[in-house]
Amino acid sequence: MSGEERLMISLTVNGESVSRLVPVRQHLVDFLRLELGLTGAHLGCEHGVCGACSLRVDGVLVRGCLMLAVQADGAHVVTIEGLDASGEIADLQQAFVERNALQCGFCTPGMLMTAADLVRAGVPRTRAEIRAHLAGNFCRCTGYQAIVDAVSATLNKRLSEGGGHV
């Protein structure tokens, strides 16, 4: 089957160099989950709508189910595990826990990846703007208000402490 055609790729994932022979049809998120055991990114729809598989690729937020692993050859990929380890969003994570901005937690890694983009930009945002920024991430549990609260609180705290993190 053409699906079994494989290519060698080399990339950086959460700061570590990785080389693997991958099926050309394998999605980036499947590669991360199945080959590297990075199960923080989740599969919610596999057609680019729900945002549960959101990743940072070369600094840009992408949907891991809409990108092939071979397209990430040479790229720098950051997953929720990487963001967690780097401490970049420690304040955001703490705000999510304190505000209970998650219930089942399945959307949470994608939601945090998306929110990380917003809080690191260091620009003041209204609640409506935060809601618009998160509009591509589906959460079935919370009703979103707690998430908006947590993102807003983190952003405002960073702004009051002199600009967002990079």
What are the residues binding other proteins (CB under 8 A)? 1, 3-4, 23, 25-26, 33, 37-47, 49-50, 52, 79-81, 83-84, 93, 96-100, 102-109, 112, 127-128, 130-132, 134-148
The residue among 45, 43, 1 whose CA lies nearest residue 25 is 1
Minimum distance from residue 134 beta carbon to other proteins (Å): 4
What's the one-letter identity of residue 76?
H
- The minimum distance between CB 73 and other proteins, in angstroms, equals 20
Residue 138 C-beta: closest distance to other proteins, Å: 6
- Listed residue (34, 94, 59) closest to 166, CA to CA: 59
Q: CB 155 → other proteins: shortest distance, Å?
A: 15
- The residue behind tokens 């080399």 is 10
Q: Which of 18, 77, 20, 89 is nearest to 53 (CA)?
A: 77
Nearer of residues 74 and 98 to other proteins, judged by Cβ:
98
Q: Least distance (Å) from other proteins to the CB of residue 72?
A: 18
- Check residue 124 and give left, alpha or beta (phi > 0: left; psi -120 to 50: alpha): beta
Nearer to other proteins, 16 or 162 (CB): 16
Please say which residue, 60 or 128, places its beta carbon nearer to other proteins. Answer: 128
Closer to other proteins by CB, 20 or 131: give it. 131
Residue with the two structure tokens 């050859």: 73
Nearest residue (CB) to other proteins, 9 versus 114? 114
The sign of the torsion formed by the CA atoms of 27, 104, 135, 15 equals negative
- Of the chain, the end-to-end C-alpha distance in Å amounts to 45
